[in-house]
Amino acid sequence: MKKQKKSIGLAFLALMLTLAAGLACNAPLVAPTAPLATATPYRASTDAPLEPTAVPTETDVPTAPPAAEGPNLVITDVSFATETPAVETWVPVEATVENQGDAVAAGYDLVLISHYGVGPPNPSGVERLPDLVPGATHTLTFEPGLLYAHAGPATVRVLATDTWYELGDPDSTGEAGDTWDVEITVQEAE
């Protein structure tokens, strides 16, 4: 025990002298790189031999459960009666939403925007979604749906959002919503 105290004392003294010398000549302080000492537990002669202990592996270390993420509405399908409607012809649109989160999705709307990216975001339809528990799906049909006055291409956006009435923003999915864009081509009436 005396030898151990003496060697610790000498190591401490050597460290202090190194630091003092470095301070005296304005050298940068660098920690010594002496090997780490390992502690051996005290054992009386009557003690049983020490058993080796297992080193924990990654799988032994308990992990915290993932943090709650809340609701996560995902539009899983959008379908049209036709993707090449004629001018002045109503086109019903069906959309399916799934709550892929871990909390109830409440207060969300499904918004249908017939000309996304062109002019003001006037919705062609807004429907309130029912509260959806985690894993639940809901299919909603916009009827009569879309009606176009002019022929040509159009981007249709379906938006699941809880901020539509606050912002009127066709890009705002709110806290946990989603968007789905579809390109359609409106044909001249025959």
- Per-residue confidence of the chain (190 residues) as pLDDT tens digits? 555 555 556 666 665 666 555 555 555 544 445 444 444 444 445 555 556 556 556 655 555 555 558 999 999 999 988 888 899 999 999 999 999 999 999 999 999 999 898 877 789 999 999 999 999 999 999 999 999 999 999 999 999 999 988 888 999 999 899 999 999 999 998 7
Report cis status (omega within 30 of 0) of the bond before 66: no
Contact 177, 162 (CB under 8 A): yes
- Length of the chain in residues, anyone? 190
Contact 109, 127 (CB under 8 A): yes
| H or E element at residue 7 | helix 2-24
Can you give the pTM of this predicted structure? 0.63
The answer for 96, left when phi > 0, alpha when psi is -120 to 50, beta otherwise, is beta
Beta strand spans in 54-151 (E):
73-80, 91-99, 109-113, 123-128, 137-146
Domains defined for the chain, CATH in brackets: 73-186 (2.60.40.10)
Query: 137: how many CB neighbours lie within 10 A of its CB?
Result: 13
Distance separating the N- and C-terminal Cα atoms of the chain: 104
